[in-house]
Amino acid sequence: MSAAGRYAPSPSGDLHIGNLRTALLAWMFARGTGRDFRMRVEDLDRARSGSAERQLEDLAAIGIDWDGDVVVQSARRSRYADALASLRNRGLVYECWCTRREIAEAASAPHAAPGAYPGTCRNLDDAERAARRARGRPPALRLRAAVDTFTVHDVLAGDWTGLVDDVVLVRNDGTVAYNFAVVLDDGDLGVDQVVRGDDLLSSAPRQAYLATVLGLQPPTYAHVPLVLGPTSARLAKRDGAVTLRELTAAGFTVADVVGMIADSLDLPGVRTAAGLLAAFDPASLPRDPWTFTPTPPRSSSCGQGRVPVR
């Protein structure tokens, strides 16, 4: 399978300009290094009717293309079940009944590793497990990790060593956990380059370690700066017109939106994805967050280039 990069939105609503910027960066990193580009819909957790279709329309509208069919996580449940069974057979899965509150309290105890699961349920004996099952609360399933830290390579951050703990593989409601699903998805699709927001850098060592446990090669990462709203918090829908459809309804063209993203990447005057790709140099990528404040529409053809609205 060809080496590939990817973009993997969750269909919980329309993509905002920060999501579109990260998608363009992932696409440019992949295309600029001769990789395929895969698209995946991560719908295991939250999925709003029609959202996936609208997201794909928006991504295509700004000039992003992808190779092969769109992969949908909910269609891969049997793959996750098979991988989980293999880990069980190797003795690498255990049941965990801890609540969020119990984990938070344990993590705040003296000498606890910040943010790490403390291993409360890791070594329960048969009687202790039976007692917890009798309470009626379904358990989550965790990986029995053999390391505490793992080092990944990030194109922007360099070698980065972070915490590894006993990550959740399946939540107590039966939903396959994000870390487990994305590692399998990337491995199966030949994804060897993951570009995403730098708020996820701390997750990379856990995911890379899990990949090795599953017999997969961890990808190379590029964690790019986030987009912030006017209050300097992470950009969100509450910040006003931030989605492509909202911006085009306000008079911006698709080219205007791509141009704003280009400006944020220190590539002024570029107004197409193809132009961005031709000018893109990862070494020149700004390392600070971009605060999004839309300027008045520059196009005289107000409303042209809108995304088809279903």
Give the pLDDT score at 107. 67
Residue 10 is labelled as binding a ligand: yes
Residue 96 is labelled as binding a ligand: yes
Give the pLDDT score at 203. 95
Residue 302 is labelled as binding a ligand: no
Residue 9 is labelled as binding a ligand: yes
Residue 8 is labelled as binding a ligand: yes
Residue 205 is labelled as binding a ligand: no
Give the pLDDT score at 309. 35
Residue 213 three-state SS:
helix
Give the pLDDT score at 87. 98
Residue 98 is labelled as binding a ligand: yes
Give the bridge partners for 285, in sequence order.
none
Answer whether 150's CB lies under 8 Å from 164's CB: yes
What is the CATH architecture assignment of 4-69+225-291? 3-Layer(aba) Sandwich (3.40)
Residue 237 is labelled as binding a ligand: yes
Give the pLDDT score at 193. 98
Residue 7 is labelled as binding a ligand: yes
Which CATH number among 2.70.98.10, 3.90.800.10, 3.30.1490.20, 1.10.1040.10 corresponds to the domain 76-187? 3.90.800.10
Mark the ranges of the chain whose per-residue pLDDT is less than 50. Answer: 300-310
Give the pLDDT score at 73. 97
* Domain residue extents for the chain: 4-69+225-291, 76-187
Side chain identity at 1, as an amino acid letter?
M
Model-level pTM? 0.92
Give the pLDDT score at 111. 57
Give the pLDDT score at 112. 62
User: Count H helices, E strands: the chain?
Assistant: 10, 12
Give the pLDDT score at 308. 39
Give the pLDDT score at 266. 96
Residue 178 is labelled as binding a ligand: yes
Task: List pLDDT tens digits, range 49-68.
Answer: 999 999 999 999 999 999 99
Strand stretches in 82-229, DSSP E: 93-96, 140-143, 149-154, 158-163, 168-170, 193-197, 220-224, 227-228
How many CB atoms are located within 10 Å of the residue 99 CB? 10
